[in-house]
Amino acid sequence: MSEAAVWSALYVGIAVLFGVGVLILGGPAMGAEYFAGYLTEKALSVDNLFVFLVIMTSFRVPRADQQKVLLFGIVFSLIARTGFILLGAALINTFAWVFYLFGLVLLITAGNILKPSDSESRSPDNIMVRLARALFRTSEEYDGDRLFTIHDGKRVMTPMLLVMVAIGGTDIMFALDSIPAIFGLTQNVFVVFTATAFSLLGLRQLYFLLDGLLDRLVYLSYGLAAILAFIGVKLILHALHENNVPFINDGEHVNVVEIGTGASLVVIIGVLVVTVIASLASPKAGRSTSCPPRAATPPSTSPARSIPRSGRTSSASCSPRRPSCAGCRRSSGRRSARRSS
C-alpha cells in the first residue's frame, strides 16, 4: 500500500510539473486547458478502474496476475485513445458540426450513467468476449499467465486471454466518451494527448492504492454525470457559436454565451471536490447491500470446471475485493451509456 501511494504521488507530481511547464511556456489559457483536461480524464480513468475490478472479479483473476492484466489494459487504452484523438482532430478540422455530435454523445452518456441497471448489464461478457468464445475453444482453468494451453490434446484459450479481450473491448468503449469530453475543453491536439497520457500514467498503482476503497466513492457516478453534461452543454454552445449547418439559423453563427476554459476548470474541480467529500461523509460509503451473487467460475457457455481460488472467497456478498452495488451500478451504467450512444 505504501509503495503504491509513493508511486501514485510521484506520477501525479510529474503530471502537475508538466502542467506548470505548459502554463509557463504556453501561457495561462493553454495551462488551464491542460489542467481541466487532465482532471476530467483522471476522473474518467478512476471510473475505468471500477470496470476493471468487475471484470477481474468475475473472471477470478489470480492476484499475482492482476498487474499484468492492468498493464495490458492501460497500454491498450493509450493506443485506443491516441487513435480516437487523431480521428477526432481530423473530423473537427473538416466538419464543424462534429461539435454537435460530441455534445450529444456526452449528454446521452451523462443521462445513462444515472440510469438504474439490471443484473444482465453487469456481465463482463461484452461482444468481443462472446465473439472470441464463438470462434475459438476456451478452457475454464488458468495456466499461470499463459494465453493458450493444451487441453485434452487440443490448443485452447485460457481465461487470461478472455480477460484481456474483455479489458480491450472496455478500453475502446471508454475512449468513445473520453475523447469527446476532452475535445470539449480544448482542440489543441498536443494538450489533448498529453493530458490523456498523463491521466493514464500511474493508473496501475492507483488501482492497488484504492483497492477496497473504490466502493466508498458512492457518488462518483453523479459527479461524472455532472461533468460530462457540463462539457456536453459547453460543446453545443461552441457549435452554435461556430455554426455553419444550413438548417440551423440559416447556416449563420448563433450569438450565445460561451463557457471559458477558466470557468470550466473551476466547475470541474468544484464537482470533484464535492463528490469526494460527500462520498466519504456518506453513511452509504463501503456499505454492500443486496449485491447480486457472482459466479464462482468465469462466464462460459460450456460446462463449468473448478477454477483455482488463489485464496479468494466465493461469498455471494460484497467484499473489499468485490465492487459494492454502487460500484456495479457505476460500471454497468457506463456500459449501458455506450450502447445507447
Assess contact for 298 and 60: CB atoms under 8 A. yes
> What value does the mean pLDDT take over residues 157-181?
81
1 or 79, greater pLDDT:
79
Whether pLDDT at 310 is above 60 = no
Query: Considering the domain boundaries, does residue 297 fall inside one?
Result: no
C-alpha–C-alpha distance, residues 289 and 329, integer Å: 12
Query: Considering the domain boundaries, does residue 23 fall inside one?
Result: yes
Domain that holds residue 46: 2-291+313-340
Instruction: Please give the helix or strand (H or E) that residue 151 lies within, else none.
Output: strand 148-151
C-alpha–C-alpha distance, residues 282 and 16, integer Å: 30
pTM comes to 0.69
Counting the structural domains of the chain, the total is 1
95 or 313, greater pLDDT:
95
Helices marked H in 201-306: 203-209, 220-241, 261-281
Give exposure, 173-203, as e/b (b: 16+ Cβ within 10 Å). Answer: bbbbbbbbbbbbbbbbbebbbbbbbbbbbbb
Alpha carbon distance, N-terminus to C-terminus of the chain: 38
**Phi, psi for 318 (deg, rounded to 5):** -70, 155
pLDDT confidence of 97, banded at 50, 70, 90? confident
Lowest mean pLDDT among 28-37, 54-63, 196-205: 54-63
Query: Considering the domain boundaries, does residue 306 fall inside one?
Result: no
314 or 49, greater pLDDT:
49
Query: Considering the domain boundaries, does residue 166 fall inside one?
Result: yes
Query: Considering the domain boundaries, does residue 302 fall inside one?
Result: no
Whether pLDDT at 108 is above 80 = yes
Whether pLDDT at 130 is above 70 = no
Query: Considering the domain boundaries, does residue 298 fall inside one?
Result: no
3 state SS of 322: coil
> What value does the mean pLDDT take over residues 121-137?
60
C-alpha–C-alpha distance, residues 216 and 294, integer Å: 20
C-alpha–C-alpha distance, residues 19 and 191, integer Å: 10
Whether pLDDT at 22 is above 90 = yes
Assess contact for 162 and 59: CB atoms under 8 A. yes
